[in-house]
Structure 1
Amino acid sequence: MRPVSVVVPVCNEAENIGALVAEILDETASLPLLEVIVVDDGSTDGTAEIVAEAAQQDTRIRLVRHPRNGGQSAAIHTGVLVAHGEIICTLDGDGQNPPEGLPSLVAPFLVAETGRLGLVAGQRMGRQDSFSKRAASRFANWLRSRVLHDHTRDTGCGLKAFRRDAFLMLPAFNHMHRFLPALFSRDGWDVAHVDVGHRPRGGGSSKYNNLQRGLVGAVDLVAVAWLIRRRKRVVSPADHLTGVPSDG
């Protein structure tokens, strides 16, 4: 089995992160887990101290700290850069993504025959969010799907698994984590989807509001559509890394 690293971006999640890391370790017992990398994105509430204490008890836990807040995509990118696993799993640090979904995200990589599977994207079932957040997310996903044709109903789900080498060849920008299916497809990779659970936030508060998310999302959508349109497809990153030319 290919070694796995779990990357957890966090900012001010002291009420959730200790229990979440312990749960990740329990739920990934069947995987060749190398490490759980918690990237503290400028927390001010003691999140980093909780993770540091846990790391003293279990060497698989690693803490990486940003000196200031850079955003979720920046935290994920940092975690992937320092990871040792060939397969990277991600989930949000607020505890709403149940770690029990991690093995099902890795499973498709174990049976993939072509070597071109780049991303397995979780799709939340039974979302435990407010009506306004669910409605805003539904509209954003509909609009994104119409523009990018990424065949993904829920790109906002933090539960994902992907090839580390493929991720590091993607264009890096703020909020890129919300466009991973389109970006992986752009680079010639196959994308699979797995239904996963969702649960209420255990403590703390969300770092986003609907207006803020909508404004930046509109700008990002235009930018990603431009990136896809301008992609030169002589030899895709997937062709380069696998040595297997695509059919398209």
Structure 2
Amino acid sequence: MDQKRVNTRRSRVAAGAEPSLSIVLTLEDQARIVGRTLKQVVGHCAERGGGAELIVVDDASTDGSAEVAARWTEHMDGLRVVRHHARRGRGAAARTGVLLSKGRKVLVLGADLAVDLDDLDDVLDLLDRGADVAVASRRMEESDISRRASLLRRVSEGVLIAVAHCLVRPGVRDSFCGAHAYRRGAAKSVAERAHSTGDGWAVEWLAIAQRLGLQVSECPVRWASPDLGETKLRFLPTLAELARAGRRLKNVDYLAPLPARQTLAETSFVDAAVASTRFRSRYEPK
């Protein structure tokens, strides 16, 4: 994709004060891929039009991921990079991004972009057809998996999805695909009530959405296991987190959001502006 062409078109994409779409990218030690990912996403936004903002939330990476992403703000309008003060987990990163978002629709993605970008438009279309929450799924008949994950990853995810089925009502077959879309009100309502901060966050978010009476729909997608920079899945911590979420779902009143002070403390961040001018990396944009 021609960088100059992308830059010319993106200036029109981010012109609106209220974007039609907010894309939240969670990032953890993925400096090797974040530049490529941002280039793909901004190009896609330019092609689809309608106005979009990109919010990259770095969960206290130690490999310079935030600095690499921050340098791309010079090339992309509507891109904001924030960094957690301390590592809090992918769920906390998703919540930070959602709470900062301004778009009428909110799309939460992993930085590995395992889901085909063109299919994300189909996920977003479900919101236009009445869904409050739309989930990309690899487990529908129409889904297409071109490159499978490792056997260990597939087995681990299979166990976690089976456990997730005990928490999420029928109708959601894949909680770990890596792409969720929300109407703005639904996104804020769920994020303000979510407790999970680790890799099992999406399961609790979907369960909360169902308990709030929101309509959750699934969409088949094309999916390929990343050949570089795959988002990590921590099996035992995630299994423990799902167990804790299950106990909360039985005992916690999700009608009331978390206290604002607690939410702010748990999502403490700084804007990763291009402050570290001495930082150099082979991954930064050319």
Shift, 1:84, TM fit: 1.3
**1:62-211 matches, cutoff 5 A:** 62-112=80-130, 117-124=131-138, 125=143, 126=145, 128-170=148-190, 171-175=193-197, 176-204=201-229, 206-211=231-236
34 and 205 in structure 1: CA distance in 2 versus 1, 3 angstrom threshold:
closer
The question of whether the paired residues in 1 share the 8 Å contact of 2:52 and 2:78 is answered with: yes
TM-score in terms of structure 1 length: 0.82
Q: 2:76 aligns with which of 58, 65, 80?
A: 58
Once the two structures are superposed, residues 169-214 of structure 1 have per-residue CA deviations (whole angstroms, 9 ceiling, x without a partner) of: 2212124322332211111111111012222333346533323322
In structure 2, the residue corresponding to 1:19 is in which secondary structure? helix
Shift, 1:42, TM fit: 0.4
In structure 1, list runs of 5 or more residues that go unmatched.
233-248
Q: Matched residues in 2 for 1:134 and 1:210: separation?
A: 11
Query: Which deviates the most, 89-98 or 186-195?
Result: 89-98
* One-letter code aligned to 1:74: A
Query: Which deviates the most, 124-133 or 64-73?
Result: 124-133
Q: Matched residues in 2 for 1:110 and 1:207: separation?
A: 32
Q: 2:237 aligns with which of 212, 216, 229?
A: 212
Shift, 1:231, TM fit: 5.9
The question of whether the paired residues in 1 share the 8 Å contact of 2:208 and 2:254 is answered with: no
197 and 142 in structure 1: CA distance in 2 versus 1, 3 angstrom threshold:
same
Aligned residues: 227
Q: Matched residues in 2 for 1:199 and 1:8: separation?
A: 18
Q: Matched residues in 1 for 2:225 and 2:242: separation?
A: 24
RMSD of equivalent CA atoms: 2.4
Instruction: Percent identity, please.
Output: 24
Matched, 1:3 2:23: no
The question of whether the paired residues in 1 share the 8 Å contact of 2:105 and 2:181 is answered with: yes
In structure 2, list runs of 5 or more residues that go unmatched.
1-18, 256-286
TM-score in terms of structure 2 length: 0.72
Q: Matched residues in 2 for 1:191 and 1:150: separation?
A: 10
